[in-house]
C-alpha cells in the first residue's frame, strides 16, 4: 500500500511548528573570528549590538568583547573568563569550555561583516514578527481613546522606527568622494545659471536671501500675534504649490505641499487663501458682503486654487509621529493625477511641509516630560528628522515670548523664541515676521496736561510720518541661516487681504507712480 505524506494544518496564530528566524552557527562563527582577531570587531561594531543575537549567551559574550576592546584590552577566552565566570547564563552553557569552543569555531575573519549583517537581518525579522503580534493583539483589544486609524498610524511609526534602527550603511565617507559630490552640486548650481537651489517662496528678495528653501532644512518662522505668521506661511505654501504645478523641471513636477493647520480649520485657511488671491476681505467673505464682481473674482480664485497640489490637514493636537506618518503617505502618493511625473515615479511626491504652529503639536507618550523645554526639544528633533528623511524643507511656525513687548525696539531676537535654546539649536533657518505699523497704530500720542499745543502737534506729526513710512511694510528678519547670510528682507503687506508680496521701493518707480 502506497503511503502519502500528510500535511498538518497550522493555525495562523500558532507558533508551535515554527521557531523565530535565527542562525546560532553564524553567531558562534562571528564571535570566534573576533576572538581570533580583535580587529575584526571594527567591521561590525557600528551596527551590531548584544540584543541582536538570538542566543542570549552569545549576546552576553559579544557585550563582554565590546567592553574589553573599548577599554583597549584583548578579548580572548582567557580574558573573557575573568568577566564571565560568575555569569550564571555563561556557566550553564559550559563556562570556559563554551568560550574555547567559540574560539575554535571561527572559520575566517573575512566573513565577519557578512555574519554580522545576517545576524542583524534575522534580528529585524524577529522584531517584525513581535511587532505583528502586538498589532494583532492591540486590534483585538480595542480601546475607546485609541481608534483604529490611530492604531494604524502607531503601527506605521513603529515599523519606521524598526526600519531606521542600526547604521549598516553609515560610517565615514572618504574625502575624495565628498569632494566629487561637492563638485557635482556646484556643477548643478552652475547649470541653473542663478536659478534657485531649493523650493521657491515666490518672494524674490526672500528667495535671494535664502537661495530658496533647501531640502532637509528645518525653517522656523516666528512672530508675535497679529504679525502675519500664518499669512506669510500660506503665501509661501501657495507659491510653492503653484511652482510645482507649473514648473518645467522634471524632478519637481507633480510634487505636493502639505499644510498642517493646528490652529485654524481647513475652511478658515482656504478662506484666507481665497481672500489673498481674489483681493477680497476675508471678513466680507465670511459675512457675505460681496458684490457681483467680488463673487465672480472669488469663483475664479477658487477654480485656480482647486487645481493646486496643496493639501491641508486640520487635525488638532497631532503628534510629530502622526505628522511624519501622513507626510510619508503623501510622499508615496504624490499629487493626484501626476502618476507619470518623475517625482511620483521616484516616490518623492512631497515638496514642502508647513506646520502652523510648533507649540500646538502634542507630545507623544514617549516624549511627555515635566519640562516643556524637553518636550519642544523632542518635537524639533523629530521635525528635523522628518525633513532629512523625506529630503524636503519643513517650515514650522512658532510663537515668541512676551519679552518683545517690554522693549522699546520691538524687533524680535533669537532669545525671544519660546523654549529658544532647543528651537534655535535644531533649526537650519530662523526667520521673524515684524510689522512696525502694528505697534505705531497702537501708540498714537495723546496730549499731556502740561504739554503745549505746539509740542503736541510736533509729536503727532512725527508719529504720522512714521506711520506713513511703515504703511504696508513688513520685515522678515533672517536671524539664523546655516547656508548663507543673515539680514532683513522687506515685503509688502496688505492687511485687508492678509497678503504678502514683493516690496518695491518708491525710488525704483517711474515719476508720478509713487
* Closest CA relative to residue 359, chosen from 476, 484, 222: 222
pLDDT at 160 over 60: yes
As a whole number, mean pLDDT of residues 187-202 equals: 65
Confidence of residue 189 (pLDDT cuts 50, 70, 90): low
Residue 50: pLDDT over 50: yes
In-domain check, residue 490: no
Q: pLDDT tens-digit profile of 478-496?
A: 988 887 888 888 888 887 7
Domain assignment present for 281 = yes
Give the Cβ contact number of residue 329 at 10 Å.
13
Say what the pLDDT of residue 10 is. 44
Share of the chain above pLDDT 90, in %: 2
Return the pLDDT at 394. Answer: 92
Which of 360, 366, 391 minimizes the C-alpha distance to 262?
Answer: 360
Are 123 and 205 contained in the same domain? no
CA-closest candidate to residue 34, choices 55, 51, 58: 58
CB atoms within 10 A of CB 115: 25
| Average pLDDT score over residue span 33-57 | 84
Question: Which of 401, 430, 428 is CA-nearest to residue 416?
Answer: 401
**Residue 332 is placed in which grid cell?**
508615496
Q: Do the domain assignments include residue 321?
A: yes
Q: So what's the pLDDT on residue 412?
A: 84
Residue 173, in any domain of the structure: no
- How many whole angstroms from its chain centre is CA 426? 11
Question: Based on the domain organization, do 279 and 426 belong to the same domain?
Answer: yes
pTM over 0.85: no
Q: Does residue 191 form part of some domain?
A: no
Instruction: Report pLDDT for 337.
Output: 43
Q: Are 126 and 210 contained in the same domain?
A: no
Domain housing 95? 24-141
For 34, 62, 65, 68, 365, the CA distances from 78, given in Å and listed in that order, are: 14, 15, 12, 12, 46
- Number of domains within the chain: 2
Q: Which of 430, 464, 494 represents a domain boundary (last residue)?
A: 430
Q: Do 358 and 273 fall into the same domain?
A: yes
Residues 227 and 113 in one domain: no
| Structure-block grid coordinates of residue 85 | 565566570
Domain boundary at 392, 414, 430, which? 430
User: Given pLDDT bands bounded at 50, 70 and 90, which one contains residue 196?
Assistant: low
How much is the average pLDDT of 273-293?
Answer: 76
Chain segment 454-467, per-residue pLDDT in tens: 787 777 777 777 77
Q: Which three cell numbers stand for residue 331?
A: 510622499
CATH at 122: 1.10.860.10
Q: Looking at residue 353, what is its pLDDT? A: 92
Asked, for residue 493, whether it belongs to a domain, the answer is: no
Is there a single domain that holds both residue 207 and residue 128?
A: no
Shared domain for 208 and 134, answered yes or no, is no
Q: Would you say residue 54 has pLDDT above 60?
A: yes
| Nearest of 370, 485, 389 to residue 431 by alpha carbon | 485
Residue 1 lies in a domain: no
Q: Strands of 473-481's sheet, edge to edge?
A: 310-313, 256-261, 350-356, 394-399, 218-223, 429-434, 473-481, 487-494, 499-502
pLDDT value, residue 5: 40
CA distance 258 to 155: 22
- Please tell me the predicted confidence (pLDDT) of residue 225: 82
Set of cell numbers at residue 353: 511641509
> Grid coordinates in use for 440?
505705531
pLDDT band of residue 187 (cuts 50, 70, 90) is low
- Which one of 430, 447, 474 terminates a domain? 430
Name the DSSP letter for residue 74: -
Domain contains 452: no
* Top-confidence range, 23-27, 197-201, 251-255: 23-27
Q: How confident is the model over 94-151, as pLDDT tens digits?
A: 778 888 888 777 666 677 888 888 888 898 888 888 888 888 888 887 776 677 777 7
Determine if the peptide bond prior to 37 is cis (ω within 30°).
no
Min mean pLDDT across 49-53, 379-383, 407-411 is at: 407-411
Residue 82: Cβ-neighbour burial (10 angstroms; 0-12, 13-18, 19+)? exposed
Q: What is the DSSP string of 412-466?
A: --GGGBTTHHHHHHH-SEEEEEE-HHHHHHT------TT--HHHHHHHHHHHHHH
Tell whether 230 and 374 lie within a shared domain.
yes
The pLDDT value recorded for residue 354 is 92
Q: What mean pLDDT is reported for the chain?
A: 77
In the chain, the percentage of residues whose pLDDT exceeds 70 is: 81
The verdict on 280 and 388 lying in the same domain is yes
492 has which bridge partners? Answer: 473, 501
Q: What is the pLDDT of residues 211-265, one digit of tens each?
A: 888 888 899 898 888 888 888 898 898 888 888 888 777 777 778 888 998 888 8
Range of weakest confidence among 205-214, 279-288, 431-440: 279-288
Amino acid at each position: 500500500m502506497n503511503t502519502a505524506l500528510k500535511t498538518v494544518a497550522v493555525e495562523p496564530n500558532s507558533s508551535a511548528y515554527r521557531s523565530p528566524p535565527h542562525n546560532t552557527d553564524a553567531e558562534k562563527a562571528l564571535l570566534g573570528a573576533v576572538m581570533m582577531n580583535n580587529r575584526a570587531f571594527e567591521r561590525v561594531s557600528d551596527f551590531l549590538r548584544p540584543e541582536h543575537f538570538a542566543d542570549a549567551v552569545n549576546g552576553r559574550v559579544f557585550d563582554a568583547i565590546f567592553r574589553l576592546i573599548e577599554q583597549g584590552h584583548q578579548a580572548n577566552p582567557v580574558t573573557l573568563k575573568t568577566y564571565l565566570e560568575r555569569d550564571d547564563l555563561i556557566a550553564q552553557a559550559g563556562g570556559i569550555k563554551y568560550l574555547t569552543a567559540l574560539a575554535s569555531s571561527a572559520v575566517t575573519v573575512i566573513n565577519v561583516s557578512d555574519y554580522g549583517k545576517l545576524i542583524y537581518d534575522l534580528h529585524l525579522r524577529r522584531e517584525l514578527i513581535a511587532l505583528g503580534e502586538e498589532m494583532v493583539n492591540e486590534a483585538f483589544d480595542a480601546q475607546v481613546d485609541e481608534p483604529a486609524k490611530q492604531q494604524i498610524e502607531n503601527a506605521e511609526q513603529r515599523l519606521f522606527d524598526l526600519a531606521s534602527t542600526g547604521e549598516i550603511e553609515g560610517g565615514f565617507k572618504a574625502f575624495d568622494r565628498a569632494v566629487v559630490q561637492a563638485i557635482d552640486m556646484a556643477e548643478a548650481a552652475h547649470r541653473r545659471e542663478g536659478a534657485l537651489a531649493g523650493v521657491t517662496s515666490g518672494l524674490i528678495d526672500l528667495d535671494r536671501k535664502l537661495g530658496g528653501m533647501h531640502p532637509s532644512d528645518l525653517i522656523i518662522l516666528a512672530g508675535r500675534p497679529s504679525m502675519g505668521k500664518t499669512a506669510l506661511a500660506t503665501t509661501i505654501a501657495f507659491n510653492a504649490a503653484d511652482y510645482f504645478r507649473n514648473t518645467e523641471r522634471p524632478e519637481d513636477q507633480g510634487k505636493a505641499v502639505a499644510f498642517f493647520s493646528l490652529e485654524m480649520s481647513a475652511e478658515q485657511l482656504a478662506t484666507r487663501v481665497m481672500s489673498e488671491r481674489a483681493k477680497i476681505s476675508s471678513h466680507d467673505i465670511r459675512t457675505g458682503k460681496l458684490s457681483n464682481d467680488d463673487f465672480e473674482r472669488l469663483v475664479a480664485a477658487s477654480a485656480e486654487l482647486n487645481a493646486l497640489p496643496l493639501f491641508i490637514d486640520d487635525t488638532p493636537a497631532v503628534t510629530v509621529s502622526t505628522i511624519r506618518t501622513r507626510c510619508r503617505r503623501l510622499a508615496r502618493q504624490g499629487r493626484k493625477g501626476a502618476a507619470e511625473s518623475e517625482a511620483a515615479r521616484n516616490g518623492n511626491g512631497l515638496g514642502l511641509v508647513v506646520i502652523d504652529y510648533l507649540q500646538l503639536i502634542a507630545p507623544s507618550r514617549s516624549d511627555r516630560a515635566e519640562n516643556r523645554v524637553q518636550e519642544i526639544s523632542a518635537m524639533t528633533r523629530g521635525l528635523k528628522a522628518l525633513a532629512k528623511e523625506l529630503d524636503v524643507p519643513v517650515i514650522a511656525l512658532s510663537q515668541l515670548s512676551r519679552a518683545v513687548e517690554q522693549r522699546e525696539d520691538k524687533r524680535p531676537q533669537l532669545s525671544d523664541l519660546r523654549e529658544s535654546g532647543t528651537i534655535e539649536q535644531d533649526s537650519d533657518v530662523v526667520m521673524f515676521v515684524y510689522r512696525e505699523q502694528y505697534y505705531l497704530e497702537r501708540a498714537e500720542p495723546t496730549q499731556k496736561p502740561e504739554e503745549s499745543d505746539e509740542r503736541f502737534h510736533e509729536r503727532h506729526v512725527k508719529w504720522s510720518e512714521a506711520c506713513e513710512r511703515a504703511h504696508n511694510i513688513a520685515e522678515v528678519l533672517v536671524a539664523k541661516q546655516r547656508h548663507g547670510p543673515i539680514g532683513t528682507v522687506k515685503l509688502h503687506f496688505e492687511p485687508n487681504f492678509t497678503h504678502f508680496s514683493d516690496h518695491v521701493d518708491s525710488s525704483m518707480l517711474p515719476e508720478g507712480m509713487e
